[in-house]
């Protein structure tokens, strides 16, 4: 391979919002010039929480359309659906067999689910802390490791809150290589420089679970309403304001020119700009920025066969390499091809 490879997984569990773009989509797409970039829709990862077949299909299309609308070029990168590569799941079982259970006990998602069960039980509760936790949640990091290792990825760009997945992939690859010989590339973690905690409309971190997000492709009317109801501090019209702590300024800084962002920051911190005026500028900038991607997204979602063709073509490009890596792994473990 002439370039080093970067791999990014996208879990289809909700329509993308502006913080997803700033913290994940944009930095991942920026790697295209330097790296051979692979992007996959992690639809089987979503099965840990999505139980409706129609919803999973719709979300898969939405996420694929979002990345395409925001600039992913399927001619320069490989975009595929995880479930179209059965090699991923055979590799997952092989990796499961060299992964210590204790490592899975320490995985963030599993620990969070156990903590939630403990909190729900209360101080006097005697609940089964594993009740409601499926094996998909428990072994999620091994499937993620298979996604990464199947394509001999050099780097995996993630936010800091997702770094454990790459660390686990590294550990699992090293364990496999120790037992069976040098077979799997050990990937490097590439932290996104812009994966900051963008503040949502209620003052908390922007998240679908809080319902405080700005949908990435909201139409102008709904977008303006969301921006107008953004929570701000109680400073007076002419009082100095905390620009850095404001989700409004955080968003504006990422989409406006450096000069315009500096001007807003100064105006807020000196009291020359009201929060109302700030909201107007943020709306105007964001609405203009999203105008073309919004139209492209609408076109893709109006005819999802376009998305099907792109995902199928991506899987066709990806599978030969997936087969080759799996063949080397099979040989390493002693799974020899039989001859008639």
Q: pLDDT digit string (tens) for 191-223? A: 875 545 788 999 888 888 788 999 999 999 999
Instruction: Quote the pLDDT of residue 311.
Output: 98
Do the domain assignments include residue 206? no
Question: What is the rounded CA–CA span in Å between residue 215 and residue 289?
Answer: 14
- pLDDT tens-digit map of 90-106: 999 999 999 999 999 99
Q: Which own/partner contact pairs does 256-259 have at CB distance under 8 Å and 24+ positions apart?
A: 256/285
Residue 330's pLDDT band (cuts 50, 70, 90): very high
Residues 116 and 75 in one domain: yes
Do the domain assignments include residue 40? yes
Residues 291 and 316 in one domain: no
Q: Which own/partner contact pairs does 308-311 have at CB distance under 8 Å and 24+ positions apart?
A: 310/64, 310/68, 310/74, 310/79, 311/41, 311/64, 311/79, 311/80, 311/81, 311/84
CATH number at residue 258: 1.10.240.10
189 close to 161: Cβ distance less than 8 angstroms: no
Instruction: Quote the pLDDT of residue 125.
Output: 60
Least confident of 180-184, 232-236, 260-264, 309-313: 232-236
CATH number at residue 32: 3.40.50.620
Instruction: Quote the pLDDT of residue 161.
Output: 76
Residues 127 and 263 in one domain: no
First CA to last CA distance, the chain: 34
20 close to 158: Cβ distance less than 8 angstroms: no
Do the domain assignments include residue 54? yes
Total domains in the chain come to 2
Question: What is the rounded CA–CA span in Å between residue 287 and residue 280?
Answer: 11
Do the domain assignments include residue 339? no
Mean pLDDT of 303-332: 97
Residues 314 and 288 in one domain: no
Instruction: Quote the pLDDT of residue 127.
Output: 67
Residues 294 and 189 in one domain: no
Q: Which residues partner with 155 through β-bridges?
A: 6, 188
Residues 120 and 186 in one domain: yes
Do the domain assignments include residue 209? no
Instruction: Quote the pLDDT of residue 3.
Output: 86
Average pLDDT, the chain: 92
Residue 337 above 80 pLDDT? no
Do the domain assignments include residue 229? yes
Lookup: tokens for 257: 């020119």
Residues 187 and 69 in one domain: yes
Instruction: Quote the pLDDT of residue 159.
Output: 77
Distances (CA, A) of 62 to 41, 103, 231, 263: 10, 33, 28, 35
The domain in which residue 54 lies consists of: 5-197+304-333
Residue 1's pLDDT band (cuts 50, 70, 90): low
- pLDDT tens-digit map of 271-296: 999 999 999 999 999 999 999 999 99
Residue 87's pLDDT band (cuts 50, 70, 90): very high
Residue 130 above 90 pLDDT? no
Residues 26 and 150 in one domain: yes
Do the domain assignments include residue 205? no
Instruction: Quote the pLDDT of residue 208.
Output: 82
Residue 180's pLDDT band (cuts 50, 70, 90): very high
3-state secondary structure of 78: strand
Residues 188 and 256 in one domain: no
Residue 80 above 90 pLDDT? yes
Mean pLDDT of 56-66: 96
Sign of CA dihedral 185, 190, 167, 48: negative
Instruction: Quote the pLDDT of residue 160.
Output: 77
Mean pLDDT of 1-19: 88
Residues 159 and 16 in one domain: yes
Residue 13's pLDDT band (cuts 50, 70, 90): confident
Instruction: Quote the pLDDT of residue 126.
Output: 64
DSSP 8-class letter at 22: I
Residues 111 and 235 in one domain: no
Tell me which residue of 139, 131, 71 sits closest to 110, measured CA to CA. Answer: 139
Residue 313 above 90 pLDDT? yes
Mean pLDDT of 73-98: 97
Please give the residue that has the higher pLDDT: either 336 or 166: 166
Mean pLDDT of 46-62: 96
Instruction: Quote the pLDDT of residue 194.
Output: 53
Instruction: Quote the pLDDT of residue 141.
Output: 96
Distances (CA, A) of 114 to 30, 108, 129, 273, 320: 37, 10, 5, 46, 40
Do the domain assignments include residue 153? yes
Instruction: Quote the pLDDT of residue 119.
Output: 81
Residues 118 and 224 in one domain: no
Tell me which residue of 64, 61, 75, 5 sits closest to 38, measured CA to CA. Answer: 5
Residue 124 above 70 pLDDT? no
Q: Is 181 left (phi over 0), alpha (psi -120 to 50) or beta?
A: left
Question: What is the rounded CA–CA span in Å between residue 6 and residue 204?
Answer: 31
Distance, C-alpha 130 to centroid of its chain? 26
């Amino acid at each position: 391979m002439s370039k080093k490879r970067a791999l990014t997984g996208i879990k289809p569990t909700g329509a993308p919002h502006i913080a997803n773009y700033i913290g994940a989509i944009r930095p991942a797409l920026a790697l295209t010039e330097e790296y051979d970039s692979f992007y996959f829709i992690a639809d089987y990862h979503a099965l840990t929480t999505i139980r409706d077949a129609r919803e999973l299909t719709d979300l898969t299309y939405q996420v694929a359309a979002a990345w395409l609308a925001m600039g992913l070029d399927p001619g320069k990168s490989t975009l595929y659906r995880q479930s179209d590569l059965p090699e991923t799941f055979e590799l997952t079982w092989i990796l499961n067999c060299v992964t210590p259970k204790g490592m899975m006990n320490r995985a963030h998602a599993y620990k969070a689910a156990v903590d939630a069960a403990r909190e729900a039980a209360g101080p006097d509760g005697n609940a089964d802390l594993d009740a409601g936790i499926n094996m998909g949640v428990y072994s999620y990091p091994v499937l993620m490791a298979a996604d990464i290792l199947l394509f001999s990825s050099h780097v995996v760009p993630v936010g800091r809150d997702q770094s454990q997945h790459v660390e686990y992939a590294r550990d699992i690859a090293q364990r496999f290589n120790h037992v069976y010989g040098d077979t799997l590339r050990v990937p490097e973690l590439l932290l996104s420089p812009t994966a900051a905690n963008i503040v949502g409309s209620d003052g908390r971190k922007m998240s679908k679970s809080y319902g405080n997000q700005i949908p990435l492709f909201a139409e102008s009317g709904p977008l303006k309403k969301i921006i107008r109801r953004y929570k701000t501090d109680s400073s007076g019209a002419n009082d100095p304001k905390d620009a850095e702590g404001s989700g409004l300024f955080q968003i504006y800084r990422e989409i406006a020119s450096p000069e315009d962002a500096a001007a807003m920051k100064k105006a807020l911190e000196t009291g020359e700009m009201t929060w109302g005026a700030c909201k107007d500028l943020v709306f105007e900038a964001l609405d203009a920025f999203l105008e073309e991607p919004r139209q492209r997204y609408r076109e893709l979602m109006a005819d999802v066969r376009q998305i099907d063709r792109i995902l199928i073509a991506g899987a066709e490009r990806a599978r030969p390499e997936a087969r080759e890596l799996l063949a080397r792994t099979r040989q390493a473990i002693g799974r020899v091809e039989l001859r008639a």
